Amino acid sequence: MNIHEFQAKYLLGERGVPVPRGYVTRSAVEARRAAERLGGSAWVVKAQVHAGGRGKAGGVQVVHDLDALERYAGGLLGRSLVTAQTDARGQPVGAVLVEEGLEIARELYLGLLVDRARERVVCIASAAGGMEIEEIAARDPQQLITVVIHPAAGLQPYQARQIAFALGLGGRQIGELTQLLTALYALFIAYDLSLVEINPLVVTADGRLLALDAKVTVDDNALGVGRQPQLTEMRDVTQEDAVEVEAAEHQLNYITLDGNIGCMVNGAGLAMATMDVIKLHGAEPANFLDVGGGTSAERVAEAFKIILSSPKVAGILVNIFGGIVRCDLIAEGIIRAVQEVEVKVPVVVRLEGTRSEEGKQLLAQSGLALTPASDLADAAARIVAAVAAPRDGVAG
């Protein structure tokens, strides 16, 4: 789960990481008042969305008078912001952060993340901050420095100094960066984070170090089990995929994908295999969906509705291997769902395992236009052909 920049900065500030002074606001008038309270003659208005690339997309603006600030904030609030990191619909802007405008001398990059191959938290830093770090990593990896942190030892002062030198810092900035990094690493561990990214970390004209932007991602496994109540409170579902949020409420592991073949599968491994076989037959899955091991007819019905809620789904492949789950219960769920929601797309069903014969019989007797398949390859071939065929020739 991601949190907003203003929330991330609050967490950083709490631990003594310097951040610009600012207020989060939800109306243009409030934004103006925030600027008045901050004082000075330059402010930055920043759209609060769970996506980066706002600067290039018009979501971050430096302004020098209050009327312009109010206009700009009003223009952002209630709209959607499309950036290189969002989809074509963009992310809704429900709040803007108004901060003191700073005179920036240098923009640096600093990130902490879990390196799964190394099984360590690593710190990545670059003197070339501000821009897309992925671009730099691809074009000029020399500009990145990676420091591996040992889980038992934690971040060592010599490592912080190594990073400070690589960033071209000197004098008292070396000590400041050491403090900042130590706090950042403590935060990373305390909140079960998988990513903290400060891009840019700036050196101001008067030589101060500040986190000008902050991105924080928390490991989803730490949420919902009571480990991170403060972060759980920070959830903003308006920034998340609506279908994925709905699916999570029904304990379904659902991820939206780009293709047009909806998949309903039990077990994450089988779901992966199903997606592979769909691709092998030349089509693309519309989603990943694992309905779980001990699933019920109700949950299958919910899963069906969730798959169908996406207008791009042109066909559905149901692939169930009954181990713990009984295929006849799955069949009941499918029948219930197809009766409750109008299914206008072809549905191919492969049922195998516990009570699969009973399940197949229920489907055959239901009188619904469901296409049975003998195995996974057969099922994939049938659904891909059905989706490719003209509408009235399908579902037979």
For position 54 contacting ligand GDP by CB under 6 A, the verdict is yes
Q: Is the dihedral of CA 389, 393, 394, 396 positive or negative?
A: negative
Residue nearest to Mn ion (CB): 213
For position 90 contacting ligand GDP by CB under 6 A, the verdict is no
Residues lying near Mn ion in the complex (CB under 5 A): 199, 213
- Closer residue to Mn ion in complex, CB, 213/236: 213
Catalytic hit among 30, 99, 197, 352: 197
Beta strands in 127-239 (DSSP E): 144-149, 193-204, 209-211, 215-218
**Residues 2, 72, 109, 213: which binds ligand GDP (CB under 6 A)?**
213
Question: Could you tell me the smallest distance in angstroms from the CB atom of residue 377 to Mn ion?
Answer: 46
- Closer residue to ligand GDP in complex, CB, 83/159: 83
Question: Which of these ranges, 44-52, 152-160, 217-225, 381-389, lies near ligand GDP under the rule CB under 6 A?
Answer: 44-52
- Closer residue to Mn ion in complex, CB, 216/303: 216
Name the DSSP class of 81: E
- Closer residue to ligand GDP in complex, CB, 173/204: 204
For position 24 contacting ligand GDP by CB under 6 A, the verdict is no
Catalytic hit among 70, 99, 107, 109: 109
Which string of DSSP letters, residue by residue, matches 267-329? SHHHHHHHHHHHHHTT--BSEEEE--TT--HHHHHHHHHHHHTSTT--EEEEEEEESSS-HHH
Question: Which of Mn ion, ligand GDP, none does residue 181 bind (CB under 5 to 8 Å by kind)?
Answer: none
For position 74 contacting ligand GDP by CB under 6 A, the verdict is no
109 included as an active-site residue: yes
Cα 22 from chain centroid (whole Å): 26
Measured in degrees and rounded to the nearest 5, phi and psi for residue 230 equal: -65, -40
CB 238 within 8 A of CB 8: no
Cα 274 from chain centroid (whole Å): 23
70 included as an active-site residue: no
Q: Is the dihedral of CA 32, 33, 34, 35 positive or negative?
A: positive
For position 104 contacting ligand GDP by CB under 6 A, the verdict is yes
3-state class (DSSP) for residue 112: strand
Question: Could you tell me the smallest distance in angstroms from the CB atom of residue 46 to Mn ion?
Answer: 10
Q: At what angle do helices 268-280 and 376-388 cross, to 10 degrees?
A: 50
Residue nearest to ligand GDP (CB): 55
For position 55 contacting ligand GDP by CB under 6 A, the verdict is yes
Structure tokens at 233: 């409170």
Q: First-to-last CA distance in the chain?
A: 42
- Closer residue to ligand GDP in complex, CB, 121/201: 201
Question: Which of these ranges, 48-56, 181-189, 349-357, 379-387, lies near ligand GDP under the rule CB under 6 A?
Answer: 48-56
Enzyme catalytic residues: 109, 197
